[in-house]
A and B are shown apart, each in its own frame.
Chain A
């Protein structure tokens, strides 16, 4: 049983986790995050031929050796791989992923590696996610696949991955981890197959796994349908807290109460920029946007097609009229822009109370419906087609991908990079300087106002005090970041990619069921006020991880007339347990009882610790002390049993 209860950490990314929990012979993958920061090492994929990008010089070693110049290009002192961008997958070697029974997804950002796991590791289990998580996750994957597939790139670099060569490269390429396992993007076919393995669940739904474990998603307040998970048996509880938020944005608020009294809390997805207050950042974003547009500039907002964009559009909806921006067009460009806007309106049950009550009117919960109706917000699948006809400047463009390596955003970076425009970089998951590196030098003004609503470390410390977790959490290791320390007692364990943590549990009980017939036969006895006891002798049955106690079988009738068996076959089973005894024997009452039952000639002697009762006629001696009774008699079974029963009258059985 000790090999159980371990946490295998497959991703080192603090907000894109992938862990495997072994718990009660069940193997549960917690999230399936895809580390896309690996793509920052690649050159952007332009939608239209970019002379600038294609004319970047090849990179050569210090000694002038230029054998890598086809694969590596240099731009403003940084070196990039000129190839189809690749992603850093979760560890696949640490644990046999075909043994994973279920995958629990906490939000749509944390499922992007799903096709790699479900399609290529022999996985045969079930994936659990809420409906918004699944639907929006599908949109994110669809967008990603579309971005990559619509600009086919012949070049595929692999030479640089050679360990001996990688050592010679400049940072950050030199330090990139596990480059040999980096993979290209999956296909839509793989996405569909992966999503078909999802079983939809609702908040607070109890899902039984193999009769041993129950898992339950709880609202985490971070995104539409985002969840934390409770994984529990009857006497053990693990809480898995992934991207969670205590701020009031559009999703249903976080359910904190249900996390109470966990034995272990696994904590991931905390904000990495705890000093950036989201409200302040949104304010900064709006004022910079107004300023730029008034000066005739355009604003480019790299973003995911779902999530924070809903909140931004809502802020702008309230802001544009007062800021005199009513005539400025807002463009939302993504292959899934329309779907994302439509889907956001149909998940009333997953929204915060305010938005829910709008649906009851009935009105769409998000005001972007009105922005679309009044033509202030327009959405397009890509820059090709209708967009080029409608395009007016100055304008505000929301588009992906936030890595700035693929998607329509690459086009706008090339187009506006040298103009008076503003890039508002909002995504906390990528380092914005690294994201911008292949576009340097840039004339456009870059505003970094990261909006991250996830729990910060102060909030976590407070939360932990409230939920009374008995064993503290595991979080991704953060070297040299004092602001990312969690103040808690006992201190948190931290993990790194490819580490295995043994989770401490203080479990002492297991659930067992007493069959009604047995329960009826029990004789409870009140020992102390409010506490009753009953001794139980029963047959234990264990099946499918469930334990049941049944009444003991009736003793078989002795086969009397049959020939006497050999002595050894009659040897009793000494493993039949007799109850323990407790109490003490009052000598006088005991003697009276003996007399009542026909014993005479009784003599009582006092000893240091008690008494000796002598039955002279029967040559029997009974030593009675506070906690023991010793009956010494001749080999007369009838006598012994009679005496035993009289003694037992004064004792309680346990």
Chain B
């Protein structure tokens, strides 16, 4: 029986990693989704907290045998942060994957730059071996297919994907993955409140079978953005007023621009003269990307960009490493954001000893990084070469990461109306809290699988088929009749050929297959006590049926026979008994109900005719 064609295979999701880390993991995103037999890898992140093999996901989880290209139908990258795309060249060039990689245009533009930057720190500065090369980044990017927002991209005949605006960083997108009537939405990182340079994430009521959402800030309901901004400005201002230096470790693109806009407008308003610097050559380049991809920023910036481009900063200058030793106050944005390497770490080492100075961590720091250590209160840091660095400068943490908080996550679930929710990219305890909240409020099941654990969701989609217009119209016309109160049965034949399903009338099915109809007919003899002539008996039958079956077409034909719809009744004389007449009731298999009803009715005899 070849019925499996009409049934579906379930949706399976597997966030994977080799490392047993409380299951859930904020450090790196990489999720495998199987939907109706299609395998899609969502994000390909690396872990910032490690400098060894553990930084990349273990791709042997995907398939033990065979090539990744054969197993995966496509890879989707949600945005350019390295914890979402950092392992991509390793994955495609070193492990080996030649299939399509989908991302938005800004992500495609910016991601190779960040990868190269990261490669330089790892290889050139730390001298790591077995790392991807510049050429590998280029080759990897050749496999990328850029997508527009809301464009439906047909990966193959059955698999389609669609990107939605996610806020968070320039070019960040949420993706809907759809096969037939089954779909999964993957949010990547997103932000439900617009900020100074980006808009809020938005998705339509697409009712996916599953919504996979990040849950970095699963329990936090953050205080108003305005308060956080005021707090930030106050701290920066106080520090520079007392002659201190402020270090703000950031990633070159993302929060950096948000905070630059914030400081720029504050400096302008307060007429401050203290220098603000932005480290690395990326700055200008980064801002240029924002100018060219201004359609991805928020409404206000887009509307006014012709008059005043928000990414042209007056007060913020390029940083030179010699400036770090300059006396007097200054504010420096330096990369990278978690103080795990590079210029931000160098400056931190220089300034850490002075209690007048301040470091402000504006985003989440992964375990293992210097950023994470100082945020968790550590004040003596063991640096390379057994050197111990004493941290006297003030350490501040301010959440400027553009992640959705609990309220935002709930909002998105409300927008998309999924059948179930799966939480990833968060910490177990916080996720559990959110899980309960989602299950209570939306009455949908909510999962939070550990790394390497697989979640399988049964789905039962309806099957789309083509119905022949003739058959449909016949049914619709009957459906319009006033008596059609009880549900109407439609009868037809489903023809399944290759992957096409067509529902046609039985007649058409026979015709298409070149088969003849086999007519099955019944004729029943009903004996009646009647001494009159056959013609009179027929007439009595006619008047009896006419008065009994008001809704049916009863006719008396010239040849003396009676019809009820298509059922034929003839009266004949009995061969032996002249006092008995034989009624021959004849009908086809298709009229069986009425035929057998009529014989039963006639068997009861005819009412006495008024003589």
Contact A349 B105 (CB under 8 A): yes
User: A531 and B496 in contact (CB under 8 A), knowing A342-B305, A513-B462, A580-B590?
Assistant: yes
Q: Are A574 and B493 in contact, with the CB atoms below 8 A?
A: no
**Interchain CA distance A346-B296 in the complex, whole Å:** 10
A642-654: contact bitstring with B at CB < 8 Å (1 yes, 0 no)? 0010011001001
* Closest chain A residue to B287, Cβ basis: A362
Known contacts A362-B289, A582-B510; decide if A571 and B551 are in contact (CB<8 Å).
yes
Q: Is the CB–CB distance between A342 and B520 below 8 Å?
A: no
Give the complex CA separation of A201 and B151 in angstroms. Answer: 8
Please tell me if A347 contacts chain B, counting CB pairs below 8 Å.
Answer: yes
Contacts of B465 in A (CB 8 A): 511-514
Q: Do residues B493 and A539 form an inter-chain contact, with CB atoms below 8 A? A: no
B494 lies within 8 A of A516 (CB) = no
- From residue A609, how far is it (CB to closest CB) to chain B in Å? 13
Q: Is the beta-carbon distance between A567 and B601 smaller than 8 angstroms?
A: yes
- The reply to whether A204 and B109 contact each other, CB–CB distance below 8 Å, is no
State in angstroms the CA–CA spacing of A131 and B565 once bound together: 63
Residues of A within 8 A of B289 (CB): 362
Q: Complex: how many Å from CA A644 to CA B592?
A: 10
Q: Tell me the residues in window 526-555 of chain B with beta carbons closer than 8 Å to chain A beta carbons.
A: 526-527, 548-552
Q: For chain A, give the interface size range.
A: 35 or more
Q: Which residues does chain A contribute within 8 Å of B462, judged by CB atoms?
A: 513-516, 519, 548
Task: Given A513-B462, A524-B6, answer yes or no on A570-B295 (Cβ-Cβ < 8 Å).
Answer: no
Is A577 within 8 A of B489, CB to CB?
A: yes
Which of B153, B520, B594, B603 has the most A CB atoms < 10 Å from its CB? B520
Residue pair B460, A630 in contact (C-beta under 8 Å): no
Residues facing B in A513-562 (CB within 8 A) are 513-516, 519-520, 522-524, 526-528, 530-540, 542, 547-549, 552-553
Docked CA distance A513–B592 (Å): 30
Q: Is the CB of A571 within 8 A of B476?
A: no
Chain A neighbourhood of B463, CB < 8 A: 513-514, 516, 519
A339 adjacent to chain B (CB < 8 Å): yes
**Which residues of chain B are near A633, meaning CB under 8 Å?**
522-525
Segment of A262-270, A324-332, A502-510 engaged in the interface with chain B: A502-510
Asked whether B515 lies within 8 Å of A631 as measured between CB atoms, the reply is no
Instruction: Give 1 or 0 for each of A567-582: 1 = CB within 8 Å of chain B CB.
Output: 1101111111111111
Q: CA A356 – CA B593 in complex, angstroms?
A: 71
Q: Which residue of B lies closest to A258 (CB)?
A: B154
Within 8 A of A (CB), among B1-58: 1-3, 5-8
Interface residues of A in 199-222 (CB under 8 A from B): 201-206, 216
Q: Contact check, B469 vs A507: say whether CB atoms are below 8 A apart.
A: yes
B506 at the interface (CB under 8 A from A): yes
Given A571-B597, A644-B522, A647-B520, decide whether A579 and B148 contact each other with a Cβ distance below 8 A: no
A-B pairs with beta carbons under 8 A, tally:
289
- Chain A residues whose C-beta falls within 8 Å of the C-beta of B600 in the assembled complex: 637
With an 8 A cutoff between CB atoms, is A386 at the interface? no
Which of the residues B148, B291, B516 comes within 8 Å of A349, measured between beta carbons?
Answer: B148
Whether B306 pairs with A539 at a CB distance below 8 angstroms is: no
A574 & B2 in contact (Cβ 8 Å cutoff): no
Chain B residues with CB below 8 A from A509, complex form: 466-469, 502
Check A572–B549 contact: CB distance below 8 A: no
Q: Check if A287 is an interface residue, CB within 8 A of chain B.
A: no
Against A, the Cβ 8 Å flags (1 = close, 0 = not) of B437-475 are: 000000000000000000000001111111111101001
| A576-B489 in contact given A356-B105, A635-B603 (Cβ < 8 Å) | yes
Given contacts A204-B148, A346-B295, contact A627 B518 (CB under 8 A): yes
B137-177: which have CB < 8 Å to A? 146, 148-153, 162
Which residues of A234-293 are within 8 A (CB) of B? 234-235
Q: Mark B579-611, 1 if CB is under 8 A from A, else 0.
A: 000000100011111101101111100000000
Q: Does A193 sit within 8 A of B, measured CB to CB?
A: no
Contacts known (A581-B519, A582-B510, A654-B509); A574 close to B146, Cβ less than 8 A: no
Does A364 sit within 8 A of B, measured CB to CB?
yes
**A633-B525, A644-B589, A651-B518 are known contacts. Are A580 and B507 too (CB-CB below 8 A)?**
yes
CA distance A651 to B588 in the complex (A): 15
Main secondary structure of the interface of A (DSSP, over half): mixed
Q: Once the chains bind, are B522 and A572 in contact (CB under 8 Å)?
A: no
Cβ-based interface call for A126 (8 A): no
Q: For the complex, what is the distance from the CA of A539 to the CA of B519, rounded to whole Å?
A: 26
Answer whether residue B495 sits at the interface, using C-beta atoms and an 8 A cutoff: yes
User: What is the minimal beta-carbon distance from A582 to any residue of chain B, in angstroms?
Assistant: 5
B contact residues around A631 at 8 Å (CB): 520-523
B194 within 8 A of A: no
Query: Do residues B490 and A537 form an inter-chain contact, with CB atoms below 8 A?
Result: yes
Closest Cβ of chain A: how far from B105's Cβ, in Å? 5
Q: Which of B151, B162, B466, B490 contacts A536 (CB 8 A)?
A: B490
Cβ < 8 Å to A, chain B residues 105-156:
105, 108-109, 146, 148-153
Complex Cα distance, B567 from A572, in Å, reads 14
Q: Give the B interface residue count (CB, 8 A).
A: 96
Report yes or no: A513 in contact with B148, Cβ–Cβ below 8 A.
no
B599 and A635: CB pair below 8 A?
yes
Nearest neighbor of A358 in chain B, beta-carbon distance: B292
Q: Mark A134-169, 1 if CB is under 8 A from B, else 0.
A: 000000000000000000000000000000000000
B593: A residues at CB distance < 8 A = 572-574, 576
Q: Are A536 and B494 in contact, CB atoms less than 8 angstroms apart?
A: yes
Q: How far is the CA of A520 from the CA of B494 in the complex (A)?
A: 13
- Selected contact of B292 from candidates A203, A364, A573, A575, CB within 8 Å: A364
Q: Which of A204, A513, A533, A647 contacts B464 (CB 8 A)?
A: A513
Query: B446: shortest Cβ distance to chain A, in Å?
Result: 23
Indicate whether A170 reaches chain B with its CB closer than 8 angstroms: no
Cross-chain contact B518 with A579 (CB below 8 angstroms)? no
A345 to B294, CA, bound (A): 10
Interface pair B519/A571, CB less than 8 Å apart: no
- In the bound complex, do residue B292 and residue A345 qualify as a contact, i.e. CB atoms below 8 Å apart? yes
Residue B429 is within 8 A (CB to CB) of chain A in the complex: no
- A343 CB within 8 Å of chain B: yes
A357 CB to nearest B CB, Å: 9
Task: Point out the residues of chain A lying under 8 angstroms from B491, CB to CB.
Answer: 535-537, 576-579
Return B596 CB to nearest CB of chain A, in Å. 6
- CB of B503 within 8 A of chain A? yes
CB neighbours of A553 from chain B (8 A): 487
B488 within 8 A of A: yes
CB-CB under 8 A from B411, the residues of chain A are: none
CB-nearest residue of chain B to A580: B506
Closest A residue, CB atoms, query B163: A202
B300 at the interface (CB under 8 A from A): no
A478 vs chain B, min Cβ distance (A): 35
Shortest CB distance B491–A (Å):
4
- 8 A Cβ contacts from A337-389 to B: 338-339, 342-343, 345-349, 356, 359-360, 362, 364-365
Residue ID in chain A nearest B204 by CB atoms: A208
CA distance A575 to B553 in the complex (A): 13
- The answer to whether B305 and A346 touch across the interface, beta carbons within 8 angstroms, is yes
Question: Which residue of the partner chain, among B472, B475, B520, B591, contacts A574 with CB atoms under 8 Å?
Answer: B591
The contact sample of 15 A-B pairs, CB cut-off 8 A, is A349-B105, A349-B146, A510-B466, A516-B8, A524-B3, A524-B494, A536-B493, A538-B489, A542-B479, A582-B517, A627-B517, A628-B518, A628-B519, A633-B523, A648-B520
Task: List residues of B whose CB falls within 8 A of some A CB.
Answer: 1-3, 5-8, 105, 108-109, 146, 148-153, 162, 285, 288-289, 291-295, 305-306, 460-470, 472, 475-476, 478-479, 487-498, 502-503, 506-507, 509-510, 513, 515-527, 548-552, 565, 585, 589-594, 596-597, 599-603
Residues of A that sit less than 8 Å from B by CB:
131, 201-206, 216, 234-235, 338-339, 342-343, 345-349, 356, 359-360, 362, 364-365, 507-516, 519-520, 522-524, 526-528, 530-540, 542, 547-549, 552-553, 567-568, 570-585, 626-635, 637, 640, 644, 647-648, 651, 654
Known pairs A535-B493, A540-B488; list 5 more (Cβ under 8 Å): A348-B105, A516-B8, A539-B489, A539-B490, A654-B493
Closest 5 CB pairs of A and B: A509-B466, A572-B593, A516-B460, A577-B491, A654-B506
